[in-house]
Amino acid sequence: MAQRGLRGPGPEHRAPGGRPRTKLPGADFPEKAARAGMAAVWQQVLAVDARYNAYRTPTFPQFRTQYIRRRSQLLRENAKAGHEPAVRRQYLKLRAQLLGQRYGPLSEPGSFRAYSNSVVRSSRTTLDRMEDFDEDPRSLGARGHRRSVSRGSYQLQAQMNRVIYDERTPGSVVPTSVAEASRAMAGDTSLSENYAFAGMYHVFDQHVDEAVPKVQFANDDRHLLACCSLDGSISVCQLVPAPPVVLRVLRGHSRGVSDFAWSLSNDVLVSTSLDATMRIWATEDGRCIREIPDPDGAELLCCTFQPVNNNLTVVGNGKHNVHVMNISTGKKVKGGSSKLTGRVLALSFDSPGHILWAGDDRGSVFSFLFDMATGKLTKAKRLVVHEGSSITSISARSWISREARDPSLLINACINKLLLYRVVDNEGTLQLKRSFPIEQSVHPIRSIFCPLMSFRQGACVVTGSEDMCVYFFDVERATKAMSTSCKATAQLCWTSASTATRACWPPVT
């Protein structure tokens, strides 16, 4: 019997009269788009599995590596089968719910040993929570919209990391969700392999007339990104399937957009603008769900979602104030405001959502304790990085690599240096760990921790620079910390690496 792949066209492929049908150009585009959509869901499912992988068989790390590899293989095979989009999304939601119930919330240390009835935050979209959100934040605990997470000491967490690291078997890695998720993506490749640039991938030029303050990929999705512009618009772009396209442009702000943030489920974008308003956008269709004026009527300069409860967003304005806003009601949270010494330019939460750092244009970084039950902010610590210099970017990471086991903060401060701080206690106290030379004295340059790490050597951070370059630095290398760099010569561009990263380009001015 002839093999199926060698047969001629069957009846279903023949035109009337017995002639083979002619395949029109582009006729297979829906099929390719469907395969790309399935691949995206597969990657999201794998990301969920990788987060929880550290909780499986704590004493046998080699089994976790085998599990995630086999899981990746099965998901790849399943992606080729093709299922209805609704079925794929439902599977992703159920998978996240089951893992959350089995191991507990990710941000609570030791929660995998106890059963938790709370649903993981990715199991419900932000829009779902907005529809049935109770205005009284204290009632959310019973309704399951906000998870209660105990506050652990940063010193204790760092000490536990060191103990685990010291007791590990030779060649193994620290069994944390961050480590396992990164290992699942990076495997055992080296830094040079992870960040080997292969050239320009694509240039988006829809904002050629104004600066682009921020570019950011969606959560757990390296095919979807957004960028905001001082022309007052936000673009949502898709990289796959090729060629990359601008899916939609969000318009509504009357002045430049200073910042934006993705919700955890990527169904909502929040943006802040120089027109003294913040807007809530539905990314699916680009509609503006709500417009919220700044309580002080001032220019809004930065924003960030509360990582555990995406119904709450923190914004910073030009009148030196930080406000916690309820995006479901459009109102300021009682007790959720505080004043800094200057215009608020940068905000960042720690991963459990207990500590908020805010930087201003006078060179100060403040830490605030965030009350999970009420949304109240309590000012804790202040660090003067450099008097009179603007803090343009703050990025927090609870765990960088097996060599850098302390919670860390990455800061750009217009002093021609990128600063890496160690978080030494649960009040957000910072201690300078090291600095990296860059060119930044005026412009609002951004930096971020690289989500993809090598387990052979060190870990990387990426930053922009006023010399039109993007630099990667190895945070653990004692000398010659720069791993690689590339030149940014377009208004908005994305340079591909052999293994894609989710780092953000600096703003182009």
Sorted by where each begins, the domain ranges of the chain are 202-445
Q: Check the CA dihedral 136-138-143-149 and report its sign.
A: positive
Alpha carbons 371 and 352: distance in angstroms, whole number: 12
- Res 17: pLDDT: 52
Closest residue by Cα to residue 300 from 325, 281, 277: 277
- Res 224: pLDDT: 93
Q: What DSSP state is assigned to residue 372? A: T
Per-residue pLDDT for 4 more than 50? no
CA 134 to chain centre: 27
Per-residue pLDDT for 20 more than 50? no
122 burial level (CB within 10 Å; 0-12, 13-18, 19+): buried
Most confident of 33-42, 101-110, 338-347: 338-347
Alpha carbons 163 and 235: distance in angstroms, whole number: 46
- Res 486: pLDDT: 64
96 burial level (CB within 10 Å; 0-12, 13-18, 19+): buried
66 is written with which tokens? Answer: 């085998």
Phi then psi for 327, rounded to 5 degrees? -75, -15
For residue range 166-225, list pLDDT tens digits in order.
444 444 444 444 444 445 544 555 555 556 565 667 778 888 788 999 999 999 888 899
Alpha carbons 233 and 214: distance in angstroms, whole number: 12
What's the mean pLDDT when you consider all of the chain?
74
Strand partners, 216: 226
- Res 205: pLDDT: 82
Alpha carbons 374 and 392: distance in angstroms, whole number: 29
Alpha carbons 290 and 274: distance in angstroms, whole number: 17
Q: Is residue 184 classed as helix, strand or coil in its secondary structure?
A: helix
Alpha carbons 185 and 189: distance in angstroms, whole number: 10
Alpha carbons 46 and 65: distance in angstroms, whole number: 13
Count of C-beta atoms within a 10 Å radius of residue 362:
19
Higher pLDDT, 103 or 265: 265
Alpha carbons 19 and 21: distance in angstroms, whole number: 6
Per-residue pLDDT for 469 more than 90? no
Alpha carbons 423 and 165: distance in angstroms, whole number: 19
Tell me which residue has tokens 């004493």. 59
206-210, 323-327, 338-342, 368-372: least confident range:
206-210
262 vs 219, 314, 371, 387, 505, CA distance in Å?
7, 13, 22, 32, 16
Q: Are 425 and 476 in contact (CB under 8 A)?
A: no
Through-space distance between the first and last CA atoms of the chain, rounded to whole angstroms:
67
Q: Which strands form 417-423's sheet, in the order they lie side by side?
A: 393-397, 408-412, 417-423, 430-437
Q: Is residue 379 classed as helix, strand or coil in its secondary structure?
A: strand
150 is written with which tokens? Answer: 């105990």
Alpha carbons 473 and 458: distance in angstroms, whole number: 10
For residue range 35-94, list pLDDT tens digits in order.
555 556 777 787 777 777 767 766 666 677 777 778 777 877 777 766 677 787 788 888
Band (234; pLDDT cuts 50, 70, 90): very high
CA 316 to chain centre: 20
- Res 309: pLDDT: 92
Most confident of 28-42, 314-328, 449-463: 314-328
Strand partners, 508: 212
- Nearest-Å Rg of the Cα atoms of the chain is 23
Q: What DSSP state is assigned to residue 354? A: S
- Res 164: pLDDT: 45
24-35: average pLDDT: 46
Band (364; pLDDT cuts 50, 70, 90): very high
Q: Are 149 and 141 in contact (CB under 8 A)?
A: no
Three-state helix/strand/coil letters over 204-246: CCCCCCCCECEEEEECCEEEEEEEECCCCEEEEEECCCCCCEE
Closest residue by Cα to residue 427 from 62, 170, 165, 152: 152
Phi-psi region of 300 (alpha: psi -120 to 50; beta: other; left: phi over 0): beta
What class has domain 202-445? mainly beta
Per-residue pLDDT for 251 more than 70? yes
Per-residue pLDDT for 388 more than 80? yes
Q: What DSSP state is assigned to residue 320? A: S
Crossing angle of helices 29-52 and 85-103, rounded to 10°: 0
What is the H or E stretch that residue 63 is in?
Answer: helix 61-81
Per-residue pLDDT for 165 more than 90? no
For residue range 471-480, list pLDDT tens digits in order.
888 887 766 6
The total number of residues written for the chain in this structure: 509
Closest residue by Cα to residue 256 from 305, 301, 200, 292: 301
Alpha carbons 230 and 220: distance in angstroms, whole number: 27
CA 469 to chain centre: 22
- Res 156: pLDDT: 53
pLDDT > 70: percent of the chain: 61
What is the H or E stretch that residue 47 is in?
Answer: helix 29-52
